[in-house]
Amino acid sequence: MATLILVRHGRSTANTAGLLAGWTPGVALDERGAAQAAALPGRLAGVPIAAAVTSPLQRCRETLAPLLAARPELALHTDERIGECHYGDWSGRKLSELADEPLMRIVQQHPSAAAFPGGESMRAMQARAVEAVRDWNARIEEEHGSDAVFLMCSHGDIIKSLVADALGMHLDLFQRIHVDPCSVTAVRYTPTRPFVFRLGDTGDFGSLVPAEDARAPEAGASGAAAAERAAEDGGNAVVGGGAGAV
């Protein structure tokens, strides 16, 4: 079957503000996110992409804009099933505030039982995303052959849940997976099992380097990175995916 390239959207204004964006309208790429998107065509140069599918949210569409400009022949499709998790009442709130919510413990340790008030469950989020991938795999193979490659631009928790499915992991383990903004994950699907060829690849190892001021409570991107490092040091995943390396 086809090979799927999963691209997380570039860094957004919500990422740097430490907000859980969800489906909040008007969340755009920040300056770094725009630069990440501009570099995407070069990173994927030489890869024949049969079609591109995007989440309907602005930050994903902006991430794919430079690639579509470089490849005007590339067909773009929108699929709400790979849109961000519906976080309901959590949408637009600061992650630092959500850390104290009783539900956060469930989200971190037992996500298959987590359901967001006024939103959806993480189990339903994964189910719709996996269904979308299966449908698009079949469509791409039928239209372009079994060796075809296609791309989906989506969100951190969506991509993590798809990787968990590809690896045969229970959803309760998916918080062990991390994907940075504008990272590339590649999964090749076969009739018997998927193979994960890339996971969260950005070519940038900055997030692995311990910065001297990693825990300094600075504003903006550095402050978001510090909060994420503190969460990870405590054994928690960053809900929504985080801002990535500064």
Q: pLDDT: is 221 or 46 the higher one?
A: 46
Model confidence pLDDT, tens digit, residues 70-118 = 999 999 999 999 999 999 999 999 999 999 999 999 999 999 999 999 9
Q: Are strands 3-8 and 184-189 parallel, antiparallel or unpaired?
A: antiparallel
Q: What is the pTM of this model?
A: 0.88
Residue carrying the six token digits 């950005």: 202
In this prediction, what percent of the chain has a pLDDT beyond 70? 88
In a domain, 32, yes or no: yes
Given pLDDT bands bounded at 50, 70 and 90, which one contains residue 229? low
Overall domain count for the chain: 1
Asked if 37 and 69 touch (Cβ cutoff 8 Å), the reply is: no
Lowest pLDDT segment from 43-52, 69-78, 176-185, 215-224 = 215-224
Give the integer Cα–Cα distance in Å for 32 and 225: 14
Alpha helices in 78-121 (DSSP H): 95-98, 102-109
> Which residues constitute the domain of residue 189?
3-233
CATH number, position 124: 3.40.50.1240
In a domain, 242, yes or no: no
Burial of 158 (C-beta count, 10 Å sphere; 0-12/13-18/19+) = buried
In a domain, 241, yes or no: no
In a domain, 245, yes or no: no
In a domain, 246, yes or no: no
Given this model, what pLDDT does residue 235 score? Answer: 74
Length of the chain: 246
